[in-house]
Chains A and B, each alone.
Chain A
Amino acid sequence: MDFELSEKAIDFRSQVKKFIENNLTSEIISNMHKTGTFNDKSFNEALASEGLLAGAVPGYGDRDPVELYLLFNELEKAGAPYDGLAVTMLVAGIINAVGTEFHHEEILKKLLTGKHNCCLGYSEPDYGSDVASITTKAEKVGDKWIINGQKMWTTMAHESDWVLLLTRTNSEVPKHKGMTMFMVPMATPGIEIQPVPTMASERTNATFYDNVEVEDQWRLGEVDDGWSVMGIALALERGVMGGTNPAVPLLKHVLNWAETTPSKNESLMINNTLMRERIARTAIINQVGQLLTLRAAWIAATGGMPGVEGSMAKIYASEEYQKVVGWFQQMAGAEGLLSFGAEDAAASGWIDYDARHAPVTTIYGGTSEINRNNIAERHLGLPRSR
């Protein structure tokens, strides 16, 4: 792996940095935390018209995964709303890999304008980690499919034009072999969205599918082969699409706070020994998170599948983020509990926010345990424990 980025990647990064400087306003950031929707269509559109979006689709166009990593890493470091964009671009990547002509014309082209979003409909109330056991049913009736069931945690459903929906099409075969994937237009009659509020302001949804009728052209991949499409999604996503440097914006907010906040024994928190030790440790964690992610991107850029390496980056970054948040929240004492807008809130409320947000990072996108299973079996060669 090269620690020196290529000329092209350096140019790309400065283009992204400049874009962020010019387009990411404090209104966009405060609005995302007010609404809980980490997606901003006009920001996405601006990215598209700057020509930066096509490069955000994994496997598409002439951008390599290192640039993909750079785009999402810069957005993450700047605290920009990128969750909706990451999912949408992931779906664009899947369509690029397995979609039909129709999917390219009807969906991918629109996604690249930044005006449209997608969401992921994998998890269900009863099946999360064991996602291959889902029960939402798709039945072929004539030349149409009729879908019935419920999905849980369908984040961005309320912003989306399509849901990438994992369905059961055959219950007679082993569970992995009886699922089919669809791109269901959200406007189809029979779909209902109910918001699910969370402890960290970010909004997700439960989605209900009641005799939802779709034509066969919305099927993505072969019938009963939805698990392969899931596999592509995971391989495209792991590591490179943000989520591995969450403590970078946190550290920035903590530094601003420590430089201006009096401490008991020293003049300012920034001179407190324990504070300085923890700042140093956080800086190390941020570097290691970056290097593990960059390595996953490198493997993808050179034609490999960084499945295990992505798991390593994901576990490391999310677990350490929780640890770091805990340190700083405790160091801030009572003011570390105060939220956005509260008088005297430590780091203007960011410490409270990050402490609320951190727990979900070891859960969504595959829990730490599921990623550890992956490493134990596929990297260490230990026997399956389930």
Chain B
Amino acid sequence: MSADQEAIKDVFSSFFVEQTGPESARNSMPLGFDVKAWKRISETGAPGMGVSPPAGGGASLSDLVIVAEEAGSQIAPLPIVDHVVASRVLEKLDLLEEEVLTGTLVAGLVVRPVENGVAKSVPTGAIANRLIALNEDKLLLITEDPPNESLPNHGDLPIAHREIKNANVIAEGTEATEIFDRALNEWKTLISAFLVGITRSSIEMTVDYVKDRHQFGKPIGSFQSVQHGLADLPGLCDGARLLVNKAAWSGDREMSGEIKLTDNEISDFATLASMSLVFAGETSLQATDRGLHYHGGYGFSEEYDIQLFYRRARAWSQILNSPSEECLHLADLLLKDSED
């Protein structure tokens, strides 16, 4: 990490710890959006940090993954990842409104293709004032007001179905699909970083718990089966972070990367973004699963935080599609040269 990136980490770590975290997550239910914290973060200019320097931004993807991990570590109920990705698309098409830049209006991404005029289970569907969506080969900007009511869901996210109303075509053909693919790869990378944050906190919280909780006259963390269940996790967490960082690095490069499957040399952005989502997703499932288990019955109670992390890990790791589907997409990328 560069000195600048250390600084980004410090600033955002403090911000998310102070303004978000489990209490904010609880208080934001059922909408899944902490309006007050969003106002605060907007005052710092963060919603606009992903756009180009002249427009007031300048953060690279490698910078943004740091922010997203810190947000994930506090399960921040804020649409920061979606907003940053969508505003980069809007800037590219010269459609960036001042209100989006400042965070007054929330922007988001319809991550799955639109079907029959409806965008199903949109991650920011309940709260986004501006949504970018791909409908066949047309890129749409939806400006309909959000319902401000989410579908009850596993991860307390602001999910809603959205009909395609008040939508303008903002790009067509290959331009549309290329812009959308790029945005989706950025989204995958940043959501993966958010999931790494969830994993990191779950490990920390559980290690603290097993040092503190006593049974049979000693800390439960002195039992080897508990230790070994936990000892697998830091390597997985670090591996996920390395993969996410590598995806961000490849996304920041000017040149296109390569895919040498049999030599294990991969620097292609789409491939690494997809790998990150699968791996960071499944790592977060394992970390929260073991974490909850080692909390015993308390892990299952509302009162303890680990269940919040457990449910969000599941929500973010499959809101785009099932991990198996994502692997099939990844296989298409990896094997494209060996076909035809």
Which residues of A line the B interface, CB within 8 A? Answer: 1, 3-4, 77, 245, 248, 251-252, 255, 259, 270, 273, 276-277, 279-281, 283-284, 286-288, 290-292, 295, 309, 311-313, 315-316, 369, 371-373, 375-376, 379-386
Contacts and interface: CB of A to CB of B under 8 A. Distances in A.
A376 B228 contact: yes
Nearest to B221: A382
Interface of B: 207, 210-211, 218-219, 221-224, 227-228, 230-232, 234-236, 238-240, 242-243, 245-246, 249-250, 261-264, 266-267, 272, 275, 278-279, 324, 327-328, 330-332, 334-335, 338
A302 to B, nearest CB: 13
A375 B331 contact: no
> Chain A interface mostly helix, strand, loop or mixed?
helix
B231 A279 contact: no
Nearest to A291: B242
A284 B242 contact: no
B155 to A, nearest CB: 23
8 contacts: A1-B242, A280-B331, A288-B243, A291-B242, A292-B235, A292-B238, A315-B231, A380-B227
A283 B334 contact: yes
A287 B228 CA distance: 24
A255 B263 contact: no
A313 B335 CA distance: 27
B91 to A, nearest CB: 26
B324 A291 contact: no
Nearest to A371: B231
A279 to B, nearest CB: 6
A312 B235 CA distance: 5
Contact of A277 (B222, B227, B242, B327): B327
A143 B221 CA distance: 50
Instruction: Return the 3 tightest CB-CB contacts between A and B, nearest first.
Output: A312-B235, A376-B227, A276-B331
Contacts of A284: 243, 275, 278-279, 330
B266 A316 contact: no
A372 B262 CA distance: 30
B242 A292 contact: yes
Given A255-B261, A315-B235, 6 more contacts: A276-B328, A277-B324, A291-B242, A311-B235, A372-B227, A382-B211
B227 A373 contact: yes
B207, B249, B327: residue with the most chain A Cβ atoms closer than 10 Å: B327
Contacts of A309: 238
A259 B327 contact: no
Contact of B234 (A3, A245, A380): A380
A309 B238 CA distance: 9
A163 B210 CA distance: 44
B234 A379 contact: yes
Contacts of B328: 273, 276-277, 280
B318 to A, nearest CB: 15
A248 B264 contact: yes
Contact of A252 (B262, B267, B279): B262
Contacts of A291: 239, 242-243, 246
B230 A376 contact: yes
